[in-house]
Each structure stands twice: as structure tokens, then as C-alpha cells.
């Protein structure tokens, strides 16, 4: 069975065609600058990426360009679209009602519409992407998979904010959590690597990339996670603040007269390690600058690491212990020094890293020191595979 995974943004559409027999990615790519001019970046398995300018006034043309390339004589990987069994759509926000992967129906679309106020930047684009893909591929099932779903097991004490309760009941203001497919994938892999049922394990999953979140997964269920009502909360990130005293906001509003949009931009796009360093939101750039002696680049990196350490400590406390700490995503998979320093600061828990085993990037591996009570694992994330697996299950059940 072959599944097409789609991740639609406001001006982009990412795709992967996965052969579910062996998990092989047959082709992947990105349509970008939708509504501006249009460009397709397309990589067939084992081939160089090609980049072509194709007019894409809407997501419809982007979806059409994608399917044209998937079946094309020169670049294609399937002989006809009939070989593709289903389409899985990544959706950032499912709110409180959409808590597991679902077949796209009119009711599901209506519910997605209702969730738009909670994810105004993402969900409208996802809906446009679903409609465009359904038009181009009307005869196969379309499935939606939510970033928020895995976190819906959190108890009230973890997901409520200490605002008057009516803000929860009236506006659904609460912690939702994001990167759920990634936390789910890496925690499941961790259990497999440890050879134990996930139901018996306490796992802390650290998804550290441009956007970062950490989750406490107890018995296979999330009991707490660092992102919140939006993906702004938790760790300081590439350009997002992470947690801070909320009273800073009215203070800035009074000082600088910012409106809500400007404030959102400040917190999401100008802050984090970019805001502190004044150099870059990219952790590699910061490492280069810090090595050259740029003080604020080093401070930004230190703040990030310190926050990772504190969240792990908090979640170990929340679960009364931890069996494994998992690192994933761009920074988690690749930053050897960060893993070593963070785990070094958790010796009191019984975590210890083997510097030789840890000297790898992007490889699935147990990097714990021999005999360490708490295991340290690197698990490259694979959100597309999770989406494809969920989609396949639903397609097969029809
Ligand atoms: P996104 O949240 O955009 O999916 P990624 O998971 O791709 O982000 O992570 C991007 C971050 O990972 C960047 O800040 C980048 O510097 C960092 N990164 C990628 N490769 C390396 C590496 N080899 N060493 C250190 N950091 C890396």
C-alpha cells in the first residue's frame, strides 16, 4: 500500500509518498510560494532534488503539480494515481474533540473550522490543502492526523491554566501541546529499543529543533508537555520566547504601545535564541559564533540547555522517576555536546552518557553509559511515517 502524506501551510505544501510495505519514501518534496508564483522541489528516491518553477495561484495547482510529477514518465514513482491508496493530512490543531486520526468527512471538516480560532495560522491552510487534494484525488480516502492528539491524555491539573475557570469553558484556553506525532513515534521506538512494553515505562521525550517541546510519557500516555495553548510555551526556541512571566506583556504594551499582532510577532518571530543573541535562530550558527567568543550567542545556547535540563527534572518529578530520556529533531539528534552536558546534569537521577556512543548525529542509538539506571536514547523522528500508519489503518478499515 502506498500513502501520500501532505502537510499544507499557508503558501506551501509538503509531501511524501511512502511505501507502507517497507516504510520506503518513494518521493518527497515541497511546493512553495503558492499564491505568489510557485515552485516545486521534488526528490525521487535515490535521485538528486529537482527544482521547477510552476505557476501555483492556489493549493489546487500545487497539488496537481505534485501528482503530475509522481506519475510522470521521467520523474515518477508510480505508473498511475490508482497505486496510491490514501492521503494523510497533518493537522496542527484538533482542539479537544479531534483526539485521534479520522477519515475526512463533512462533519470532520466542520469541526476543523470550529478549531480555527485556536490555530489561526495553521488550520485554515490545512483545510485549503484538504479541499485541494480531494479535488485532485476524489476517489481515495483522505485522513487527518493531529499534532495535538497524543497530548489529550493529560490530566486537568496539567492542562488547565490558573485563570478563572470560565476562560477554559468559554474559550477553550488550556494547554494542548504540539509535536504529538513526534513524541508518540519516539516514545514507541524507545520502548522497542529497551525491549519493554511502553505501559511499564516512564519516558521523557525531548523534541529539540527550531521549535522545541518536551513531554512526560507515562505508560504510553502523555501526562504533561511543555508547549501550551500555542506552540510558543515551554523552552526558549529559535525565535519564540518560551515560558516567561505573563506580566511582561502588559508591561511591554504600556511601554511600546504594541497591538496584539505586533506582540505575537515579537514573541514568535523576534525572540528566543535569535532575540537573545541578535545573531541567528539557527543553533549551528550560534555554536559557530559562540566558539568565536560572541558572548550573547553562548548565553542563548546556555539558556536553551538550562531550560531542557529543568524540564527533564520537572517531568522526572512529575512521574516519580524516569526510565529513558529520548532526544529527537534537528538539535536533539545532532547536537552531541548538548546531550552530553544535559545528561551530565542528571547524574543524580542515575543517567549517564557514553561519550563514544554519543559521538553520532541523526542515528537511532542507545548512548547510555554501561549500567546507567536511566537510559539515554537518540531516536530520529519520523512524523510522516506516523501519519502514514494512521492513514493506512483507517483506509484498511473502510
Ligand atoms: P524544525 O522545527 O524547523 O523542524 P529541525 O528539527 O529541523 O527544526 O531543527 C532545526 C535546528 O536543528 C536548527 O537550529 C539547526 O541548527 C539544528 N541542527 C541541525 N543539524 C545540526 C547539527 N548537525 N548540529 C547542531 N544543530 C543542528
Query: Of 105, 120, 146, which marks where a domain is finished?
Result: 146
Any domain includes 151: no
Q: How far apart are CA 218 and CA 327, in angstroms?
A: 17
Q: How far apart are CA 384 and CA 60, in angstroms?
A: 21
Cβ neighbours of residue 288 closer than 8 Å, sequence gap 6 or more = none
117 and 254 together in one domain: no
Any domain includes 389: no
What's the structural domain count of the chain? 2
Any domain includes 134: yes
Q: How far apart are CA 362 and CA 339, in angstroms?
A: 13
Any domain includes 117: yes
235 and 369 together in one domain: yes
Q: What is the DSSP string of 100-119?
A: S-EE--HHHHHHHHHHGGGS
Per-residue pLDDT of the chain (398 residues; tens, 9 = 90+): 999 999 998 899 999 999 999 999 999 999 999 999 999 999 999 999 999 999 999 999 999 999 999 999 999 999 999 999 999 999 999 999 999 999 999 999 999 999 998 888 889 999 999 999 999 999 999 999 999 999 999 999 999 999 999 999 999 999 999 999 999 999 999 999 999 999 999 999 999 999 999 999 999 999 999 999 999 999 999 999 999 999 999 999 999 999 999 999 999 999 999 999 999 999 999 999 999 999 999 999 999 999 999 999 999 999 999 999 999 999 999 999 999 999 999 999 999 999 999 999 999 999 999 999 999 999 999 999 999 999 999 999 99
Mutate which of 207, 210, 214, 279 for ligand 1? The one with the most ligand atoms within 8 Å of its CB, which is 210
List the domain range (segments joined by +) for residue 78: 2-146
113 and 262 together in one domain: no
Q: Is 219 exposed, middle or buried (0-12, 13-18, 19+ CB in 10 A)?
A: middle
Query: Which is the closest atom of ligand 1 to the Cα of 212?
Result: 2
Any domain includes 153: no
Buried b (16+ CB within 10 A) or exposed e, 318-333: bbeebbbbbbbbbbbb
111 and 258 together in one domain: no
Task: Give the domain CATH number at 316.
Answer: 3.30.420.40
Q: Which residue's CA lies nearest to atom 23 of ligand 1?
A: 334
Cell numbers that stand for 384 in this block: 510522516
Told to judge if 147 belongs to the known catalytic residues of this protein, a careful annotator would answer yes
Query: Are 112 and 165 in contact, with CB atoms under 8 Å apart?
Result: no
How many residues belong to the chain?
Answer: 398
116 and 200 together in one domain: no
- In DSSP terms, 378 is beta-bridged to 327, 365
Query: Are 21 and 1 in contact, with CB atoms under 8 Å apart?
Result: yes
51 and 111 together in one domain: yes
134 and 248 together in one domain: no
Query: Of 130, 146, 162, which marks where a domain is finished?
Result: 146
Q: How far apart are CA 358 and CA 343, in angstroms?
A: 11
Any domain includes 320: yes
Any domain includes 155: no
Q: Which residue's CA lies nearest to atom 2 of ligand 1?
A: 210
**What is the predicted pLDDT for the residue at 119?**
87
Question: 37 CA distance to ligand 1 centroid (A)?
Answer: 28
**What is the predicted pLDDT for the residue at 120?**
84
Question: 332 CA distance to ligand 1 centroid (A)?
Answer: 8
128 and 247 together in one domain: no
Mutate which of 9, 12, 209, 290 for ligand 1? The one with the most ligand atoms within 8 Å of its CB, which is 209
237 and 135 together in one domain: no
Question: 282 CA distance to ligand 1 centroid (A)?
Answer: 7
Cβ neighbours of residue 388 closer than 8 Å, sequence gap 6 or more = 3, 5, 16, 18, 20, 88
Any domain includes 185: no
The strand ranges marked E within 157-237 are: 202-208, 212-218, 221-225
Q: Which of 147, 224, 323, 390 is catalytic?
A: 147
Nearest to 235 by CA among 285, 177, 279: 177
Query: Of 109, 129, 146, which marks where a domain is finished?
Result: 146
Mutate which of 92, 179, 284, 301 for ligand 1? The one with the most ligand atoms within 8 Å of its CB, which is 284
10 and 135 together in one domain: yes
Q: Which residue's CA lies nearest to atom 20 of ligand 1?
A: 330
17 and 88 together in one domain: yes
139 and 219 together in one domain: no
Amino acid at each position: 500500500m502506498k500513502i501520500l502524506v501532505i502537510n499544507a501551510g499557508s503558501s506551501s505544501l509538503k509531501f511524501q509518498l511512502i511505501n507502507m510495505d517497507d516504510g520506503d519514501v518513494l518521493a518527497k518534496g515541497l511546493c512553495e510560494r503558492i499564491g505568489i508564483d510557485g515552485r516545486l522541489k521534488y526528490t525521487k528516491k535515490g535521485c538528486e532534488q529537482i527544482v521547477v518553477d510552476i505557476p501555483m495561484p492556489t493549493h489546487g495547482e500545487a497539488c496537481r503539480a505534485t501528482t503530475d510529477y509522481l506519475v510522470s514518465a521521467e520523474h515518477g514513482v508510480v505508473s498511475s494515481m490508482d497505486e496510491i491508496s490514501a492521503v494523510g493530512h497533518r493537522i496542527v490543531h484538533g482542539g479537544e474533540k479531534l483526539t485521534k486520526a479520522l477519515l475526512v468527512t463533512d462533519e470532520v471538516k466542520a469541526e476543523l473550522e470550529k478549531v480555527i480560532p485556536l490555530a489561526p495560522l495553521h488550520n485554515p491552510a490545512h483545510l485549503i490543502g484538504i479541499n485541494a487534494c480531494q479535488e485532485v484525488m476524489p476517489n481515495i480516502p483522505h485522513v487527518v492526523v493531529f499534532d495535538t492528539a497524543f497530548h489529550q491524555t493529560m490530566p486537568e491539573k496539567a492542562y488547565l491554566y490558573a485563570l478563572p475557570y470560565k476562560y477554559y469553558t468559554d474559550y477553550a484556553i488550556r494547554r494542548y501541546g504540539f509535536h504529538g506525532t513526534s513524541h508518540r513515534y519516539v516514545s514507541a521506538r524507545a520502548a522497542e529499543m529497551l525491549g519493554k512494553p511502553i505501559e511499564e515505562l516512564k519516558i521523557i521525550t525531548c523534541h529539540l529543533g527550531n521549535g522545541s517541546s518536551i513531554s512526560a510519557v507515562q505508560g504510553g500516555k502523555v501526562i504533561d508537555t511543555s508547549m501550551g495553548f500555542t506552540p510558543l510555551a515551554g523552552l526558549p526556541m529559535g525565535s519564540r520566547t518560551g515560558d516567561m512571566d505573563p506580566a511582561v506583556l502588559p508591561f511591554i504594551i504600556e511601554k511600546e504601545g504594541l497591538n496584539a499582532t505586533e506582540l505575537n510577532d515579537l514573541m514568535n518571530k523576534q525572540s528566543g535564541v535569535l532575540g537573545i543573541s541578535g545573531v541567528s535562530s539557527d543553533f549551528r550558527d550560534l555554536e559557530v559564533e559562540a566558539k568565536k567568543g560572541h558572548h550573547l550567542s553562548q548565553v542563548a545556547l546556555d539558556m536553551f540547555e538550562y531550560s531542557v535540563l529543568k524540564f527533564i527534572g520537572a517531568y522526572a518529578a512529575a512521574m516519580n522517576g524516569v526510565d529513558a530520556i529520548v532526544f529527537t529533531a534537528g538539535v536533539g539528534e545532532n547536537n552531541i555536546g548538548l546531550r552530553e552536558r544535559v545528561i551530565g546534569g542528571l547524574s543524580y537521577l542515575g543517567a549517564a552518557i557514553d561519550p563514544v556512543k554519543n559521538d553520532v548525529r541523526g542515528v537511532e542509538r542507545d548512548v547510555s553509559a554501561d549500567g546507567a539506571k536511566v537510559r539515554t536514547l537518540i531516536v530520529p523522528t519520523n512524523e510522516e511515517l506516523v501519519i502514514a500508519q494512521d492513514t493506512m489503518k483507517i483506509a484498511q478499515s473502510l
